[in-house]
Amino acid sequence: MANELVLDTEDLIENPTPRVPITLCLDTSYSMSGEPIRELMEGVALFYESVFDDEIARYSAEISIVTFGNQGVQRYADFGPVERIPRTPLVADGNTPMGEAVCDALAILEKRKREYQNTGVDYYQPWLVLMTDGMPTDDINEAIKRVVSMVNQKKLSVFPIGIGHDADMDILSQFSPARPPLRLQGLKFREFFEWLSASVQRVSASTPGEEVPLDLDGIKGWGTL
Amino acid sequence: MSLEDDVAVIVVSDGAGSARHSEQGATGAVEVVTQVLRETAPWSDPEDVKERVLVACRSEMIKRAKALKCSVAELAATLAFVAVAGDIFIAGSLGDGIVAAFRGSRSEVLIEPVRGEFANETVFLTSSRAKEHLRIAKKPQDDYSGFAIMSDGAAESLYQRREGSLAPALSKILLWLDEQTSKDVREAIQESAMPLLINRTLDDCSLAVLRRVRVDMDALGKKSAAFQMELLGSKNIRGLRSRLAILEGYRQGLQVQAVSEVVGLSERTVRRHIRAIKMLLS
């Protein structure tokens, strides 16, 4: 090879890493008081850490959090780099305005997609993770209609997760036309978020045409159908 | 790449990550598309070329799927090509590959990638929408001096998605071909360029370039013997010397008999050389 036939990195182009926008829609109603809210908080922090530890997912995954319960619907964490772990303690109180929270989560995801489009950043199908230990106290019809429509058009991946035995799995199933909701075994938030992080890592590393199936065996460690 | 019967063809086909036998689909597509482009040159009806490309790919994939006992979808692959014959070129792309062209120091994207809303979505030869999405461009070659086609993995480092612009690396590689043999450039791409590209993506990387090399006689004398042999189509040094001598006589307007006497070769051999030179200079 002739010596002068060499390329340098400055001869190349940097494109932004395609993003995976994820919104966690978390129940912080009164019934989550005590150990459940503490375990949830720890699980969320673990999720951020675990995604950060993967060198591909670290630059792909963007996480935002909407809570419903204490002080109604709250935007607890906006999209941002995963090294910024939200540290404000979650407080469990109030009702369960799930319908409003899900609509807000969809609005956040749509806004983020527009930002990607405006700045020329590629992105994967957004994820919505809905976690609750009870049943909604507001109207959820609009939220269900919008989520189902997006899932059917392959515009959204939804993960409805019931916490404990009081979670209304029938309601959760209405949000998920493609697969049944999952019930968390006990308070295995850590196991769930580890599994979620591994799933994000697989999507971040996928290439065009590649459909990434869920790790169904991995679910057995923390959830039941 | 193939250079036969005055037709130069480059084809890139990138197998889908999820399709089990996509490398078979991609290999088959490259083979049959090269053949179709050679057979249909100079491509008087681009729509007919499009149809024949798709039919040939489909038939090949069905054949291979039968042999592999799998569905055709398991052979999913994208397609990008450029072919040049005389002063006409035809380019096509289906999927997320890029077709680029070069005029002097300027580069342009001839065919943009087709992608879905999401990063892991595109269209493949096995898609029911293949005909709708296969884009073809046929143009006079004019002052186009080179072409490049690449898979989306290579495009990660060679194509700026936001601006739709191309990396300086492509022009640099094309300029290499003005000075070095295609073998040296191929080795340089493999040893220098590809490791850089592969390090910056999780996807496979494919890149093919096609360059019209123009060298005046004075400059030709300063090039390496290997470069001169490739440019003039000589098989060995002896053949190169004969061809250079005949080329010089031809340029001076000497008759075949006179050239024959000067170089010490039969008139028949001189005529054969002149035919080859004319073809190269056309």
Q: Tell me, what CATH number does B193's domain have?
A: 3.60.40.10
Whole-angstrom Cα distance, residue B228 to residue B239?
11
Range B48-67 average pLDDT: 97
A155 reaches B (C-beta below 8 A)? yes
Q: Is pLDDT at B139 greater than 80 in this prediction?
A: yes
Quick one: CA torsion of B41, B42, B47, B49, rounded to 10 degrees?
Answer: 10
Distance from CA of B76 to the nearest CA of A (A): 8
Q: How confident is the model at residue A55, as a pLDDT?
A: 85
Q: Distance between CA A166 and CA A130 in Å, rounded?
A: 15
Between CA B227 and CA A161 the distance in angstroms is 67
Yes or no, beta carbons of A12 and B176 under 8 Å apart: no
Question: How far is A118 from chain B, CA to nearest CA, in Å?
Answer: 9
Domain count, chain B: 2
Kindly report the pTM of this predicted structure. Answer: 0.85
Look at chain A and count its residues: 225
* Same domain for B23 and B122: yes
The percentage of chain A sitting over the pLDDT mark of 70, rounded to a whole number, equals: 96
- Cα atoms found within 13 Å of the Cα of residue B37, Cβ hemisphere only: 30
A209 Cβ under 8 Å from any chain B Cβ: yes
- Domain final position from B211, B243, B268: B211
For residue A68, list its beta bridge partners.
Answer: A27, A73
Phi, psi of B78 (to 5 degrees): -90, 180
More confident of the two residues B167 and B261: B167
Mention every residue, 6+ apart, whose C-beta is less than 8 A from residue A224.
A182, A183, A185
Residue that finishes a domain, picked among B211, B227, B261: B211
Across the A/B interface, how many CB contacts are shorter than 8 Å? 107
Q: What is the mean pLDDT of residues B216-231?
A: 86
What pLDDT is attached to residue B234? 86
Q: What's the pLDDT band for B98 if we cut at 50, 70, 90?
A: very high
Q: Which helix (H) or strand (E) holds A128?
A: strand A127-132
Does residue B154 sit at the A interface (CB-CB below 8 Å)?
A: no
Residue B84: phi and psi, rounded to 5, are -125, 130
Q: B115 near B172, Cβ under 8 Å? A: no
In the sheet with B2-4, reading across from the earlier edge strand, the strands are: B2-4, B7-12, B79-85, B88-94, B135-140
What are the tens digits of pLDDT across the range A179-189? 889 888 887 88
To the nearest 10°, the Cα dihedral for B219, B222, B227, B230?
60
For residue A12, which of B102, B110, B210, B170 has the smallest C-alpha distance?
Answer: B170
Per-residue pLDDT tens digits for A168-210? 999 999 999 988 898 888 878 888 888 888 888 888 877 666 6
| Interface contact A5-B184, CB threshold 8 A | yes
| CA distance, residue B112 to nearest chain A CA (Å) | 14
Structural domain span for residue B264: 217-281
* End-of-domain residue from the set B162, B192, B211: B211
In 10 A of CB B94, how many CB atoms? 31
DSSP summary character for residue B189: I
Distance between CA atoms of B120 and B139, rounded to whole angstroms? 32
Two structure tokens written together for A127: 């994820």
Residue B280's pLDDT band, with cuts at 50, 70 and 90, is low
Beta strand B79-85 with B7-12: parallel, antiparallel or unpaired?
Answer: antiparallel
* Cβ–Cβ below 8 Å for B169 and A208: no
Are B205 and B231 in the same domain? no
B148: phi then psi, degrees, rounded to nearest 5: -140, 140
Q: Are A134 and A31 in contact (CB under 8 A)?
A: yes
- Among candidates A1, A123, A207 on the partner chain, residue whose Cβ is nearest the Cβ of B191: A1
Does one domain contain both B130 and B252?
Answer: no
B187 contact A CB<8A: yes
- Which CATH number is A16-206 given? 3.40.50.410
Predicted complex: ipTM over 0.85? no
| B116 and B221 housed in the same domain | no
Confidence of residue B217 (pLDDT cuts 50, 70, 90): confident
Tokens 């035995």 appear where? A165
pLDDT of residue B1: 44
